[in-house]
Each structure stands twice: as C-alpha cells, then as structure tokens.
Amino acid sequence: MAILINETKSIFTLQTDHSMYQMKVDQYGVLLHTYYGKKGDPFDYSYLITYADHGFSGNPYDAGEERTYSLDALPQEYPVYGSGDYRSTALKVCYPDGTHACELRYVRHRLQKGKYALPGLPTIYATQEDLADTLIITLEDTRRLFYVHLYYGVLENLNLITRSVCVENHGAETLYLEQAASVCVDLQHGGYHMHSFYGRHMKERTHQRFPIHHGIQSIGSSRGMSSHQHNPFFLLTSPQATEDNGECYGFSFLYSGDFLALGDKDQFDQTRILLGLHPDNFCYRLDKGDSFYAPEAVMAYTDQGMNALSQIYHRAYRRNLCRGRYKTARRPILLNSWESVYLDFDGKKLIEMAKDAARMGIELFVMDDGWFGKRDLDVSGLGDWHVNEEKLGCGLQELSDAIHALGMQFGIWFEPECINEDSDLYRKHPDWVLKVPGKAPVRGRYQLVLDFSREDVREHILNQICHVLDSAKIEYLKWDFNRSISDIYSAALPPQRQGEVAHRYILGLYDMLEKLTARYPDLLLEGCSGGGGRFDAGMLYYTPQIWCSDNTDAIDRLSIQYGTSFGYPISAVGSHVSHCPNDQTGRITPLETRATVAMAGTFGYELDTNEITEEEIPFIQRQILEFKKYYDLIQNGLYYRLTDLGEQPVFHGWEFVKEDGSEALLCVVALQIKANAARCCIRLKGLCADKTYLVDGEEYPGSVLMNGGYLIPHATTEYESFRIHIIEKNRE
C-alpha cells in the first residue's frame, strides 16, 4: 500500500519504493510533520518530537496550562500566520474584519485511487503502468470560515510525492489570500546544504551550494515568470552528499510565474522548507463558495546522491509530465534562422539556406522572428500576426511548400504574449496591455505585455496564431517571451482583484497553451523566454522542449546545461550548434565540440548554411547521423555528471547510459591545454561491473572502467572534445 493510515493514532504514512513521508494529528487537532526520508518501518515517528517550556514561545489557548506545547517549536505540516509560530509560514489570510491571525485544526481525510489533477494547472500524471494514490487531508480554521485541503499524490514506482493545496471559503463573507505555499517540510534537525540555480540572461542555472544557517535563505522571482535569475527547483542535501552518495531531497515547482522557495533554520536547529507562489504580487479574493488551488510541487528523496535524485526527475518528467506526440517520437534535427540572418531576410534567402541544410541531412527549417507585420527592427510589429508577404516576396504557403519540396519540415516563431506600441493591435486596443493607469509603463526590448488574464485578449491572439498555422503546412512552433512583467494591472478587473492578475496571467497562458496543443496535437512546441527565462516544469507540461539559453557559446553552455541537468531531462534541453566566432562571446570553438555540447539536448543548428565550407559539410553530415544513431541513448538513457564545473576542472565530462547498462556514450570537453600535460583519467558510471565492454576496439571489464577509469585522449587544441562509444561485448 502506498498510503497507510493508522486510524487509532491518526498517523498518515506515504510510501514510495524507496522513500517514506509521515504526518500525525496530535491531541489538539494540529497536523504535525513527523518524518521524511528513507523508507523503513511505518513506526510512529512522533517519538522524535520533544516538548519543553521555551521562553517567548507562546501556547495555543486550547492547550490550557500545558506550557511545553508551542507551535513555535513543533514540526508542522502546514503552518499558518498568527498561530504563535514566528517562523516562516505557508498560509496568510486576511479576514473580513481586517485581521490575519489564523489557526488550523484537522477535520477529516479521504483517499482516492490514482493521481489527482488540478483545474487549469499542470500536474504530474500517472500512466497505466504506475502505482498512484491520492490522500486529501482537510483542515479548518478555528473561526470556521474556510477549509484548507492538503493534496498528496504518491507515485510509488516513480519515487515521487506531489503536493498541492486548495483553500475553500465556506463562510458568508469575503476572504483574501495573501500567501498560499504549496509545500512545507519541517525537518527536526539542521545541518543541511541547499543547492540552488541562479543566473542572468545568457548565464542561467549556475549551480551553487551553501549551508543553511540560522535565519532565512530564499530564492525566488517576482518578474512574472520563473526567470533567468533563479529556477523553481532546488535540492536539500546532507553536508557530505556527493553525486553518488548521501541524502538528497528535491523540490520542484510546476509553475511558470512568480515563486518563492526558502530554508529557515530556527532557534532549535530545526529546518523548515517552503515552496510556493511569491506573496509580493499575490492577493487572491475568495467570495463565499470560492476555492483557490495552489500549483503543484514535486518532492523526491534518495540516499544515493545527487545523480540518483536527478534521474528520478528525468524519468518522471519524460514519462509523466511531458505529453503529446513528441513525448516519445523522435524530434527532427532543425536549423533555426535567428543567428544566421536575424531580421534581415526574405523568402529567397531562407530557401537557399534550406537547400544547403537539406543537403546536410537537417530535417526541419525554422523561420524565426521577422516574418510578420512591420518587423524590420524589433521595435514594431509584435501583436500583428499576419504574414508580411512584401518582405518575404511570397506567401507563407509558397514558402512552406518550397521547404517541404526539399524533404524538410517547416517551423515558425511567435511571441504571443507581447506587443509593440508601433502595431495595429496596440493602436486599436491600448487597454489590452498590462499598464498602470496614470503611469508611463516600463518597457522591455521596446515592448509591452498583453493582459493574458483576459479571455478576450487570449482568444484574439490564439485566432491569429491558428489562422497562420492553418494557412500552410507547419510542424513546429517556437513560443517566445522576451521581457519580465511589470506594471501589473488589468483594465478588466476591479481594484479589489488586482492582486490576482499575476497568477491569472499564468493561468491564462496555460489555458492558451492547452487549447493550442489540443487543436494541433502533432505540432512540436518549443518553449522559450529569452532562452532560459521560463525553463521550468510547468512549461514542460505543454512544451516537451525549451530553448535552454540565448547563449549558444559551447563553453558557456557547459555550465548552463550542467546546472539544468540537476532537475530537468536532457530531452527538454533545446541546444544548437552555432557559428564561430560566437555571437555572444566572440569565442572560437571547434565544430566538433559545438556538436558534442549540442548533443546533450535536442540538437540542431543555428548558423548560415550558405557560409559553411565544403570541408565542413562532411563533418555536419556525420554529426547528424551520429546523433540519430545515439538518439534513444541520449534522450532516454541515464544521465551522469562526471565532473563538477564548480571545481574548475581541466576537462568536463558527462555520460549517457542505457538503463540495462549495455551501452554508454562518454562525452568530454578539454577546458585547459597545457604543455607537457599529465594524462587525465575519468571514472565511468552506470555500467555492469561483471560485464565486458568494448571501447575503441579494446576490451575492459565494467568494474575496471568504473573503479580504475578510462584514460581520456590527449587534447592537442583548445576546447577539443571527444565522444566515446562504449558497448557491451557480444551484445546483439
């Protein structure tokens, strides 16, 4: 059983194949958190909770004279503001009288077979092969005005526990939610390290590791998107944890907007973890009978190190988050026009590029920004999604037909959420943008943001997109979003609901993506937000791949893709071979190295094929054939990080391994070239110790490659790379 309930002791124990999570209702009706960690005996772990009379830690009124009972010191499942717990809290509610003090008490629970879903929000789903159950625990505030329904999804074989919260107003008056986190975990001991992934545009998801000290350490975004600056995924590990050993907890937020994650080590060395919506741009009105659903958080635990934790998320997000045809179908190798020609192109130029691409074996040609409205510079045209036939010199169907005649598929770029003031749509509907009355708006990339909280706005843009998609044969769409959101105000909502706009915007985005994917089930949809500004699990529910970063420099991409791999599968990572010198850094990198790095993702090209030399063409043709050969291994195999980029290694290595250990692909990039250098050795992972493997014609026992290691070929040029195929001997 995945969910065990001891009715006598009011204990709830959730079990996956390798982890266990436990809660208990105490004598006062408070839901306490008692355990999260390695699977074991479903004992009553509340014996670990200690009670003492702590100074300046108050006692609930219903505890009477029991001064050793204080919510300020107890591990709780869903702590609330105003209960006498002065630590970070998960829920804050404004009552009709303007007060905020709240207390929650247990009311009931219920079980349901299968995994719950949330209205209008992405969630992990269970397949027919999965063992999944749902537990819903209902708490009520002591004023009897609202319920808090705590949702727990247990997916045994995936080793995941998911969390969400529904707040239901069953009173007669209006309430305002000012904070509603999706998950809280109180760990009774300190001494943990937090791993987060920070950055900026073109330098996303840099891994950082730091001890959680006394006080609050937080990451988050109030930019209207999950952001380049911080990612809504983080790890909590034991101080000694490595890639292959030690306790690791993962917390992933299935949401693409504002979020807040924090670690709070209290006065008694207990560690509280919170993850949910950022309260800065959030105040949600609940009238009588209204309910609010918080986005889903996905938790995982292992005592086998960070690689094992990453593989839990990789497998689950490929199988139980991504949807549609391209969840399993091989994705075409593409050429994107952006870094090749930017906005300066016509149909003839694009067709010439496509001809060269087809000769090399590229399967999909993507026309990026610049094909619509008045769009010769990036200061105009957004919002006018009609084909500029004068610029192209042909119609879209004519262009698509020409691409398909070459044996290629055709794709197109959109930025549906943004608008230029120099556009017909803005001149007609200036009230359709997020803009504060009486204040000049903040521009980003000389564009404003459409109010996607409004159904009429979404419907208009969706109709334009569908008209374009229906006018020609189009197999791929890149959905971009190139600025942070500010001036959050909707002309369609009254003042008392303006605090809902940021969240309603994301719900509107999801609604539009759901309608688009339902209407075009065979369309390959790639997410993008200036590269990795919205690289999150929420978007993966709609777009099976996301452009990882606008930085296409292969050496910079090592760090970006390294950090991304902690929480997201390789199949989600949009990655291309670009031209040199690189447009972002000016760095010159070998063509083979650019391919090695791009193969750790969806793989494609972003260069002007007309400028490729005859000497380079065979290399590109071979790269494409090689990627196709190893496609299943790369996209669906186990991924191992073999070196830590934070330690400034001489080389950086990673490995793809089939789950049965029969085949592997080792990838290495030399980062430093030194005269008379020592040889470098790298230990492989994931092989079968008792099997024999062939590497470049030589035989090695699996135990030797994993314990002794493999000597890396000597690099003779800067940033040289190696792709080394390892296969079990006598494998059919």
Q: Where are the domains of the chain?
A: 3-320, 332-416+455-484+510-632, 641-728
State percent of the chain over pLDDT 90.
Answer: 96
Alpha helix positions (H), 283-326: 306-320
The correct CATH number of 641-728 out of 3.40.50.2000, 1.10.10.10, 2.60.40.1180, 3.40.50.1440 is 2.60.40.1180
CA distance 399 to 284: 47
- Output the pLDDT for position 678: 82
State percent of the chain over pLDDT 70.
Answer: 100
- Output the pLDDT for position 190: 75
What contacts 439, CB < 8 A, 6 or more positions away?
487
CA distance 24 to 47: 11
Whether residue 731 is predicted with pLDDT greater than 90 in this model: the reply is: no
- Output the pLDDT for position 610: 87
Does the annotation mark 536 as catalytic?
yes
- Output the pLDDT for position 646: 85
Beta strands in 26-90 (DSSP E): 31-38
Can you tell me the mean pLDDT for 151-165? 98
How high is the mean pLDDT of the chain? 96
- Residue 495 DSSP class: G
User: Given 616, 626, 644, 718, which residue is catalytic?
Assistant: 616
264-320 confidence digits (pLDDT tens): 999 999 999 999 999 999 999 999 999 999 999 999 999 999 999 999 999 999 999
- Output the pLDDT for position 677: 82
Confidence of residue 523 (pLDDT cuts 50, 70, 90): very high
User: Given 258, 266, 536, 720, which residue is catalytic?
Assistant: 536
State the amino acid at position 403 in one-letter form. I
CA distance 376 to 732: 55
Confidence of residue 128 (pLDDT cuts 50, 70, 90): confident
Place of tokens 């699996």: 702
Please tell me if the domain spanning 3-320 has the same topology as the one spanning 332-416+455-484+510-632: no
CA distance 627 to 639: 16
679-690 confidence digits (pLDDT tens): 889 999 999 999
Alpha helix positions (H), 520-611: 537-540, 554-564, 591-598
Confidence of residue 732 (pLDDT cuts 50, 70, 90): low
Does the annotation mark 606 as catalytic?
no
pTM (2 decimals)?
A: 0.97
Buried b (16+ CB within 10 A) or exposed e, 376-412: eebebbbbbbebbeebbebebeebbebbbebebbbbb
* Poorest-pLDDT segment among 165-169, 517-521, 728-732: 728-732
Residue 678, classified by CB atoms within 10 Å of its CB into exposed (0-12), middle (13-18) or buried (19+), is exposed
Class of domain 332-416+455-484+510-632: alpha beta
- Output the pLDDT for position 189: 83
497-520 confidence digits (pLDDT tens): 999 999 999 999 999 999 999 999
Beta strands in 19-174 (DSSP E): 19-25, 31-38, 91-94, 104-113, 132-141, 146-155, 160-169
597-643 confidence digits (pLDDT tens): 999 999 999 998 988 999 999 999 999 999 999 999 999 999 999 99
CA distance 295 to 180: 10
- Domain 3-320 belongs to what topology? Beta-galactosidase; Chain A, domain 5 (2.70.98)
CA distance 153 to 376: 50
Return the structure tokens found at 589: 């990198």
Return the structure tokens found at 113: 């077979």
358-417 confidence digits (pLDDT tens): 999 999 999 999 999 999 999 999 999 999 999 999 999 999 999 999 999 999 999 999
